[in-house]
Amino acid sequence: ARDKLITQAEDQLRTFVNTQAAEIGRHGTIIQLILQLQAREVERWLASEPTDQEKVYWSEHYDDPATAPELGTVPRHLITQGDGHSVLLPISLDQQVFKLATGVDPGKVVDDVSRLARMTPFYRAMHLEYPDMIYWQYTSLENGVHSCYPGHGGYPPDYDPRKRDWYLTAKQLGRLYWAPPYVEVSTRHHVMSAS
């Protein structure tokens, strides 16, 4: 009876693990397709004429309630504070956040920022379609421009995506790269990313 129970438990566990692995594989495939679509949209907008019609919110705007766009909270966007407790992170589902790497002259990248600001409808559509799969959607350029959706504050002043493993390795490989879990700078939570 003992051996039969052990065999049944092993079979159930194997079935559970196989089901979970298949689900993770399915999610990974969807994320890869979304990332390919995002790359195409970014290329399309970067090739377009710049416009100053889109309102741009910088990370500093989000950190100041007087200049932040309308913010809300959702249960899955939490920030871990220094004492280890988590609180809801205010985010904008209507805006991206932009951050320039230290030393980047805003005047030299204003056109790229203007172009990328038009990505918000795409990000919002993907976020609404796949809310449990996508945490952040980044676009980071070699010139030091970084944007993220949903918009949020909390970026360290010296943040430079070009120094992050997910950026460097994807650039070096020249193909899709799944970064191992790492601590995300805004929330201090462990995440995985596809670049």
Reply yes or no on whether the pLDDT at 150 is more than 70: yes
pLDDT in tens, 69-126: 999 998 888 887 778 788 888 999 999 999 999 999 999 999 999 999 999 999 999 9
Q: Which pLDDT score is estimated for 189? A: 78
Reply yes or no on whether the pLDDT at 67 is more than 80: yes
pLDDT in tens, 2-60: 888 888 878 777 776 666 656 666 788 899 999 999 999 999 999 998 887 778 999 99
pLDDT in tens, 159-187: 999 999 999 999 999 999 998 888 888 88
CA quadruple 89, 95, 100, 101: dihedral sign: positive
Q: Which pLDDT score is estimated for 75? A: 86
